[in-house]
Amino acid sequence: METELYTLDDTETDDAVFARAAALLRAGELVAFPTETVYGLGASALDADAARRIYEAKGRPSDNPLIVHIADPAEADAVAYVPYAYRRLAARFMPGPLTVIMPKRACIPDGVTGGLDTVAVRCPSHPAARRLIETAELPIAAPSANRSGSPSPTTAQHVLRDLGGRIRMILDGGPCEIGLESTVIRLTESGCEILRPGAVTERMLADVLGEVTVARAVTDPGAAGEHPQSPGMKYKHYAPAAQVVLIDAVPTLFTEYVRAVIRPGEAVAVPDDEAALYDGCSVLSLGQTHSAAEASHALFSLLREADIRGYSRLYIALPPPTGEYLALYNRLIRAAGGRVVRLNPQP
């Protein structure tokens, strides 16, 4: 099939593009669209056949449930049985990069939730995502718009490369602002549990809910089997063809080690202001300066770039498994298949 690619430009031509995209969604077809986190691959969340097309296009295991996207936090009531804690979270963090798992209503087919009796709900803040949902007048089921196993797409070109010829339409809204997927949480009696860390951090959630725990599989990929509630945790993720070598070391030790072991055809990923320490080496950018937000924004694009350039190995410093670095830590440890070179003394 031919994939139509439209660049959104905030002019009247966008009206026709959204009308066309909404018509495709209503007809059960797939449309990729930008969000503030990563690009999503959208289909009607009320249509089991449309959901099946998502799994086919992505090559995704059918037991891995999809997130249902809504244009206004109050629309959650149409798809889920909404506890009070959701409303408190919505008042603070929605629209935005937070996904909440709740008991699902019957209008959401089993094919969307991988047979679970819960549904993950998210209200994105990206204006194009909200406008698409509003125009289609549907809740939109949307996983990240990559082929299963590869890094999530943060530009329309990433989507085209993975899914061109497999989906009907891509809306190009430029690069995603955040670059890592939303925080996914499960509400518990006393607070919540983070199943996937994102830009809404443990601390931010604790401010609203009190008790917040982090699922063990977030920092220990080997523990994923413990979490049958979140099937996504057990699958291989974000793995580029290059071997990602994660190094746990203080900055001077990291530089010394990488300079000693790096070979031609291999690359190191560091912030731009550290690039000069690696003259003669291939360097990929983790953002302009050392910051969690910049590195998060850069990571998935960088993993794809490493493959395009054909590097066999990519050296990256392991961030701390805390605060605003936790999401980055979680994606990196999966990209590295759980292996870490530890040069710091262990406690």
Q: Closest approach of Cβ 27 to Mg ion, in Å?
A: 24
Cα(147)–Cα(41) distance, integer angstroms: 10
Residue count of the chain: 347
Kindly tell me which of 144 and 201 has the beta carbon lying closer to Mg ion. Answer: 144
Asked if 296 touches ligand TXA (CB under 6 A), the answer is: no
Residue 142 near ligand TXA by CB under 6 A: yes
CB 159 within 8 A of CB 32: yes
What is the Cα gyration radius of the chain? 20
| Segment contacting Mg ion by CB under 5 A, of 7-15, 46-54, 71-79, 139-147 | 139-147
Q: Which of 153, 319 has the CB closer to ligand TXA? A: 153
Is 144 one of the binding residues for ligand TXA (CB under 6 A)? Answer: yes
**Among all residues, whose Cβ is closest to Mg ion?**
144
**Interface with ligand TXA: number of residues (CB under 6 A):** 29
Binding mask 40-69 toward ligand TXA (x if CB under 6 A, else -) reads x-----------------------xxxx--
Q: Contact, 6 vs 172, CB < 8 A?
A: yes
Minimum CB separation of residue 144 from Mg ion in Å reads 3
Is residue 128 at the binding interface for ligand TXA, with CB under 6 A as the rule? no
Among 118, 201, 296, 301, binds ligand TXA (CB under 6 A): 118
Interface residue with Mg ion, options 144, 230, 296, 301 (CB under 5 A): 144
Of residues 87 through 106, those in contact with ligand TXA by CB under 6 A are: 99, 101
> Per rule CB under 6 A, is residue 240 in the interface with ligand TXA?
no
Write out the two tokens for 347: 């406690």
Task: Determine the Cα–Cα distance for residues 65 and 102; give it in Å rounded to an integer.
Answer: 13
Which range binds ligand TXA by CB under 6 A, 43-51, 116-124, 272-280, 317-325? 116-124
Shortest distance (Å) from residue 304 CB to ligand TXA:
16
Say how many CA atoms lie within 13 Å of 144 toward its Cβ: 24
Give, for 343, the enclosing helix (H) or strand (E). Answer: none
Strand ordering across the sheet containing 266-270 = 282-285, 266-270, 313-317, 243-248, 340-342
Cα–Cα distance measured from residue 326 to residue 220, given in angstroms and rounded to the nearest whole number:
12
330 interacts with Mg ion by CB under 5 A = no
With CB under 6 A as the contact rule, the residue among 143, 153, 179, 221 that binds ligand TXA is 143
Picked from ligand TXA, Mg ion, none, the partner binding residue 38 (CB below 5 to 8 A depending on kind) is: ligand TXA
Integer Cα distance of 106 and 86 in angstroms: 19
> Which stretch, 33-41, 285-293, 310-318, 324-332, contacts ligand TXA (CB under 6 A)?
33-41
> What are 102's strand-pairing partners?
119
229 near ligand TXA, rule: CB under 6 A: yes
> What residue type is 279 in one-letter code?
D
Task: For tokens 């936090």, name the residue.
Answer: 73
182 lies in the binding site for ligand TXA (CB under 6 A): yes
Q: Does 183 bind Mg ion (CB under 5 A)?
A: no
From 198, 150, 147, 152, select the one nearest 175 (Cα to Cα).
152
Q: Are 199 and 135 in contact (CB under 8 A)?
A: no
Partner interacting with residue 122 (select from ligand TXA, Mg ion, none; CB below 5-8 Å by kind): ligand TXA
Beta bridge partners of 310: none
35 binds Mg ion (CB under 5 A): no
Nearest to 107 by CA among 124, 87, 121, 97: 121
Contacts of 136 (CB under 8 A, 6+ apart): 21, 22, 25, 26, 44
Q: Which one, of 329, 278, 284, lies nearest residue 302 by Cα?
A: 284
Provide the binding-site residues for ligand TXA, judged by CB under 6 A.
35, 37-38, 40, 64-67, 99, 101, 113, 116, 118-120, 122, 124, 142-144, 181-182, 184, 195-196, 229-232
Provide the binding-site residues for Mg ion, judged by CB under 5 A.
144
